[in-house]
Amino acid sequence: HTHTHHPDHPVNPPQSTQSPWVVEIPEDLNYSIRPVHGVFEVFPTTESTEPLPYQYTRLPDFVQDMQMMCSMIADGPLKSFCYRRLSYLYSKFQLHVLLNELRELASQKAVPHRDFYNIRKVDTHIHAASCMNQKHLLRFIKKTLKNSADEVVTVTKGTPMTLAQVFQSMNLTTYDLTVDMLDVHADRNTFHRFDKFNAKYNPIGESRLREVFLKTDNYLNGKYFANIIKEVASDFEESKYQNAELRLSIYGKSPDEWYKLAKWAIDGNVYSDNIRWLIQIPRLYDIFKTNQLMSSFQQILDNVFKPLFEATNNPSKHPEIHTFLQYVIGFDSVDDESKPENPLFDGDVTPPADWTDVENPPYAYYIYYMYANMTVLNHFRAARGMNTFVLRPHCGEAGPVQHLVCGYLMAENISHGLLLRKVPVLQYLYYLAQIGIAMSPLSNNSLFLNYDRNPFPEYLARGLVVSLSTDDPLQFHYTKEPLMEEYSIAAQVWKLSSCDMCELARNSVLMSGFPHKMKQHWLGPNYTREGVAGNDITRTNVPDIRVAFRYESLLDELANIFKVNNEQKMQYASQQ
């Protein structure tokens, strides 16, 4: 191959000199925002009864589609068909490797400057509260205790306590602290024990320390958490080629959560070109209801979505939220998926305002109302020229396969997707739709599935859009570069080639929510085009041979389905 030199090929994307928090604030519209059956609608005036025509999927249609998908999954002939097609794709990839591996390697060697270490990678699934490794957290706690011992950090039973007093009450000094004492690493005792895993977020088993160091909303307004995130961000900037989409929590407990989170980011100047934010919404309605913090499920939707609609409607009244949302790329739904639940299959589903039960709504109920509200919000924001959001939930890690059906119908990408290995019909559909799957084999190894049984290498061979991610470096990783640790272990265990690794890195950038201009710098100006036309080997280090193989395989599968479909139609017509 002859490679032309690209003059617009900087190592870094263009750096802006102005503050990231100086953004243009559009004029206020003063529309009326009201929920209708659990979904916020935009009305031109307070008297209007007709909302603006922003279309979204209605609940009965969603329930009907869910039922149809579930009957497809259980259909015997269809299962056999999809299983055979997936087996064919796997074998086809093995044949491609046998025939073209050396050619792929030769074309990679012919590219100057690029190798696996200096192509862009995005950690597509990582939680902000555990984005540092355990040694980093330990050093940070020791340093803070040394420099800010007399700072008041919490109020216990009405008494203000300094950091030194908090540690005195636990009979600890900086000298005593060790990684083992922090006890934040997942071990063999966390396997299939999500409750024990969640407890690992508390350093030294103390929820007070979690509140002081790993929360955005505390007595110090998240000052320490902002500092440690900035240290992690500076590590990313130093390594240059690694980026992350950190997940911050909005619980839906109170209406001012968005304001506090935005103020935390802006006041603490928590920004980096290498980081974007995803907002995770834990499914905790049952806990809030038990503690009498809310009367119905509608309150969670009000607290999560109303501030976003208000900030889109009247940005000058909510400047912090408007500014912060420039760097938010989407939403995630998190919790233990293996909790038992009643499936959402009734035609007559209780609307959110009437969901006053103590029982937690099912997964599909949460996802539907997130999706429907996000759809209207995205229409509204797009009409105003603002950035929009995507839905990228935790899905298919454990629990029933119906969660994956929800993901297929409504998600842009999903995190985990382990259970696809048991459902060939869904796995084939995820392949055809090229829905991104952020996989974290080290995390799964500690929680739900041993490393050697992880379906990741099969997904990659078959051509599903998979990427590697860390999930929780604090719990699972040891080194300063957890994403590289994840890649290196996968490469050793599954004997991944250099081409496989670069393909995974390219997938992670394509799946990510980083801005279009950045992706053009990272992947090439035409990255949105399909097949070889969208690949620039001088930036991605992925050979055109591999990209062409993936694209042609996908076109073959789609053509095969249309062929089968047309034959069936003709057969049906002749029978009539």
Read out DSSP for 351-376? PGGG---SSPPPHHHHHHHHHHHHHH
For 93-133, the pLDDT digits (tens) are: 999 999 999 999 999 999 998 899 999 999 999 999 889 98
Residue tagged 């030194």 (tokens): 164
Taking the C-alpha atoms of residue 253 and residue 539, their distance in angstroms, rounded to an integer, is 44
Distance CA 576, CA 571 (A): 9
In our burial notation (b when 16+ CB lie closer than 10 A, e otherwise), range 28-38 reads eeebebebeeb
Report which of 57, 68, 58 is spatially closest to residue 345, judged by C-alpha positions: 68
Write down the pLDDT at residue 179: 81
Question: Does residue 553 lie within any of the structural domains?
Answer: yes
pLDDT at residue 475 is higher than 90: no
Would you say 312 and 40 are in contact if contact means Cβ atoms under 8 Å apart?
A: no
Mean pLDDT of 209-238: 88
Nearest by Cα to 85 from 464, 448, 365 = 464
Does the pLDDT value for residue 551 go beyond 50? yes
22 has pLDDT over 80: yes
Quote the CA–CA distance of 454 and 216 in Å, as a whole number.
Answer: 34
Number of neighbours of residue 10 by Cβ within 10 angstroms: 10
The range of the structural domain enclosing residue 301 comes to 32-565
The predicted model scores a pTM of: 0.90
Q: Is residue 264 part of a domain?
A: yes
Give the pLDDT of residue 248. Answer: 93
What does the alpha-carbon distance between residue 208 and residue 142 come to, in Å, rounded to a whole number? 16
User: pLDDT value at position 556?
Assistant: 93
Asked if residue 1 has pLDDT above 50, the reply is no
Confidence of residue 198 (pLDDT cuts 50, 70, 90): low
24 within some domain: no
CATH number at residue 437: 3.20.20.140
Distance, CA of 413 to CA of 78 (rounded, Å): 24
Write the DSSP symbol of residue 471.
Answer: B
Residue 15 has pLDDT above 70, yes or no: no
Cα–Cα distance for residue pair 334/258, rounded to 1 Å: 18
Looking at per-residue pLDDT, the higher value among 146 and 505 belongs to 505
Say yes or no to pLDDT of 490 above 50. Answer: yes
27 within a domain of the structure (yes/no): no
Q: Which class for 447: exposed (0-12), middle (13-18), buried (19 or more C-beta within 10 A)? A: buried
Radius of gyration for the chain, computed over Cα atoms and rounded to the nearest angstrom = 25
Contact (Cβ atoms closer than 8 angstroms) between residue 271 and residue 327: yes
Predicted confidence (pLDDT) at residue 187 exceeds the cutoff of 80: no
Lowest mean pLDDT among 147-156, 317-326, 380-389, 483-492: 147-156
Most confident of 149-163, 291-305, 489-503: 489-503
Helices (H), 448-543: 456-462, 473-476, 482-494, 498-511, 516-523, 537-540
User: By percentage, how much of the chain surpasses pLDDT 90?
Assistant: 52
- Cα-Cα-Cα-Cα torsion 187, 188, 191, 194, nearest 10 degrees, comes to -40
Whether the pLDDT of residue 9 is over 50: the answer is no
Residue 16 lies in a domain: no
pLDDT computed for residue 16 by the predictor: 58
Give the model's confidence band at 5: pLDDT under 50 very low, under 70 low, under 90 confident, else very high.
very low
Q: Tell me the C-alpha distance between 9 and 539, whole Å.
A: 8
- 286 pLDDT more than 90: no
Q: Looking at residue 6, what is its pLDDT?
A: 41
DSSP summary character for residue 196: H
Residue with tokens 């044949």: 95
Lowest-confidence segment of 209-213, 286-290, 329-333 by average pLDDT:
209-213
The strand pair at 436-439 and 121-127 is best described as: unpaired
Percent of the chain past pLDDT 70, that is, above it, reads 94
Lowest mean pLDDT among 133-147, 195-209, 390-404, 554-568: 195-209
Nearest partner of 262 among 253, 275, 250, judged by Cα: 250
Catalytically active residues, by annotation: 416
Q: According to the model, what pLDDT value does residue 165 have?
A: 86
C-alpha distances (whole Å) from 35 to each of 32, 40, 251, 302, 354 are 10, 4, 19, 8, 13
> What CA–CA distance (Å, rounded) separates 447 from 187?
9
Task: Identify whether 313 is part of a domain.
Answer: yes
In a domain, 17, yes or no: no
Instruction: Look at residue 532 and tell me whether its pLDDT is greater than 70.
Output: yes
Bridge partners (DSSP) of residue 438 are: 415, 467
Do 162 and 149 contact (CB within 8 A), yes or no? Answer: yes
Supply the mean pLDDT for the chain: 87
Instruction: Give a yes or no: residue 7 inside a domain.
Output: no
Q: How far is CA 442 from CA 43, 234, 285, 315, in A?
A: 48, 24, 30, 42
For residues 149-170, one letter each, b for 16 or more C-beta atoms within 10 angstroms of the residue's C-beta and e for the rest, the string is: eeeebbeeeeeebebebbbeee
Cα separation, 320 vs 328, in Å, equals 13
Q: Give mean pLDDT, residues 181-198.
A: 71
b/e map 207-223, b = 16+ CB within 10 Å = ebbbbbbbbbbbbbebb
Q: What tens digit of pLDDT does each residue of 319-350 get?
A: 999 999 999 999 999 888 778 777 766 656 88
Domain count within the chain: 1
Mean pLDDT, rounded, for 34-56: 88
